[in-house]
Amino acid sequence: MILTDFLKALAQLADPRFRRVLWIGVALSIALLVACYAGLLWVIEAIDPGSVTLPGVGQVTWVGDLLGWGSLFLMLFLSMFLMIPVASAITSLFLDDVAQAVEDVHYPGLPVPPRVSLFDGLRDTINFLGVLILANLLAFAVYAMLPFGIPFVFYAMNGFLLGREYFQIAAMRREGREGAKALRKQHIGAIWLAGCLMALPLSIPVLNLLIPVLGAATFTHLYHRLTA
């Protein structure tokens, strides 16, 4: 049944409202990562290591260049893990449009729910972004201790977080914040499993950028199926 929800979402991917949210999320995510890298470069320039003197070596003048290039490779490496959490969090600001597009096509006749206020949307997005980034950064310690368990930890953790967030977004539109939390606790197993399905393409370049939109659509179908 969860796979059916996903296939329904995939079939609607050509919807203009889906594409709009996708491009907004990707563009803002890239802009945020570029801004973070610019801030890191500013910190390096502010420190201004210049040259250092090493015993037996003398003056070393390439420390600043090393830090600059090192920061670039560090950001490229971190972006592989953080791009999707960042894209998911930012795109969550606009996922109400995706959920409405799904309901217009598959659940016609439902009253249009009130939109989430900008303040509530920003608050939820910041909270979600913080939890996702912190969890993925902490996971590096687990990866180091359990290298063979990396795939299981990555998919289980991100599946839980994505499922929790996307179901909350889908359910909150019609159940309210507290009602969505209660419903999420009641169906935690199915929601986690659906989240893991969303997490599977995270390691596939380009395809992983579709996950925020597909996730919102899939969990909208899941919400209506669980409450039918």
- Spell out the per-residue pLDDT of the chain, length 228, in tens: 788 888 898 899 888 988 888 888 777 767 776 777 676 666 656 665 554 444 444 444 444 454 555 555 666 555 555 555 666 666 666 778 888 899 999 998 888 887 766 677 667 777 777 777 788 778 777 877 888 888 888 888 888 888 888 888 888 888 888 888 899 999 999 999 998 888 887 767 667 778 788 888 999 999 999 987
* Alpha helix ranges (H) inside 12-149: 16-47, 63-91, 95-106, 118-145
Query: Which 8-state DSSP code applies to residue 204?
Result: S
Distance (Å, whole) CA 217 – CA 223: 10
Query: Which 8-state DSSP code applies to residue 210?
Result: G
Q: Locate 216 and state its tokens.
A: 């919102």
